[in-house]
């Protein structure tokens, strides 16, 4: 259960949850404040089943890996641009 009590705005104040947009037990529309690893703030039913939770974890790990790879590529690109701007010779292949 969410220690803060969850949110009952029904996605009117906050964005709709992209992980669990609706409680499958009671039908409460959930906003992004209601995290998927907590229970529904209304009926206290789990928002995700065990297989859905595992699939979500794998999807998030893939997104984190892709974001890290993008950040590393951007960092290397910025380093190369700084080297070019300073007038350094490009490395030979």
Whether the model clears a pTM of 0.85, i.e. scores above it, the answer is no
pLDDT of residue 69: 97
Residue 19, domain member (yes or no): yes
Residue 87: pLDDT over 80: no
pLDDT at 91: 67
3 plus 43 within the same structural domain: yes
Task: Kindly report the backbone phi and psi dihedral angles of residue 21, in degrees, each rounded to the nearest multiple of 5, phi listed first.
Answer: -70, -15
Co-location of 57 and 30 in the same domain: no
DSSP at 18: S
Does residue 27 sit within a domain?
A: yes
pLDDT at 19 over 70: yes
- The answer to the question of residue 28 being in a domain is yes
8 A C-beta contact, residue 45 and residue 39:
yes
Question: Rounded mean pLDDT of 61-81?
Answer: 96
36 with 65, same domain: the answer is: no
Cβ proximity of 73 and 38 under 8 Å: no
Residue 93 lies in a domain: no
Q: Residues 9, 11, 16, 22: what is their CA dihedral angle, to the nearest 10 degrees?
A: 70
Domain holding 55, by residue range, is 49-85
Residue 13 lies in a domain: yes
Q: Is position 14 within any domain?
A: yes
Nearest to 16 by CA among 4, 32, 28, 2: 32
The predicted-structure confidence for 26-68, as pLDDT tens digits, reads as follows 989 999 998 888 889 989 898 888 898 899 899 999 999 999 9
Query: Given a cut of 90, is residue 15 above it in pLDDT?
Result: yes
Both 36 and 61 in one domain: the answer is no
């Amino acid at each position: 259960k969410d220690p803060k009590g969850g949110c009952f705005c029904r996605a009117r104040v906050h964005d709709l949850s992209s992980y669990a947009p609706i409680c499958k037990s009671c039908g409460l529309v959930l906003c992004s404040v209601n995290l998927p690893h907590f229970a529904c703030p209304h009926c206290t039913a789990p928002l995700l089943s065990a297989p859905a939770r595992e699939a979500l974890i794998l999807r998030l790990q893939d997104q984190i890996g892709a974001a890290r790879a993008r950040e590393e590529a951007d960092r290397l690109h910025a380093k190369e641009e700084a080297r070019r701007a300073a007038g350094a010779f490009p490395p030979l292949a």
